[in-house]
């Protein structure tokens, strides 16, 4: 399973990118995106996905 960033909700605050242990988050056209093939939802590493934990916008990061 993977997560995705809702493009129209993303403010490009950059909080999510440095906390991703899989380097699955990158800036594309001034918005952040999650590469689904790299995203593991932090399973086995953290209790909750780290991007969700730091994102200041509710419902910006959702299951893909």
pLDDT at 49: 98
What CATH number did the domain enclosing 14 receive? 3.30.70.20
Quick one: 52 exposed, middle or buried, by C-beta within 10 A (0-12, 13-18, 19+)?
Answer: middle
Domain containing 55 equals 3-63
27 backbone dihedrals φ, ψ, rounded to 5°:
-90, 125
Statement: residue 59 has pLDDT above 90: yes
Count of structural domains within the chain: 1
Statement: residue 1 has pLDDT above 90: no
pLDDT at 42: 98
List, for residues 7-49, the tens digit of each pLDDT value. 999 999 999 999 999 999 999 999 999 999 999 999 999 999 9
Task: Tell me the two tokens of residue 47.
Answer: 């209790």
Global pTM value:
0.92
């Amino acid at each position: 399973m993977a997560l995705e960033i809702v493009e129209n909700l993303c403010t490009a605050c950059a909080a999510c990118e440095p906390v991703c242990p899989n380097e699955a988050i990158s800036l594309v056209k001034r918005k952040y995106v999650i590469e689904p093939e790299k995203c593991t939802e932090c399973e086995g590493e953290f209790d909750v996905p780290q991007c969700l934990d730091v994102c200041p916008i509710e419902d910006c990061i959702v299951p893909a």
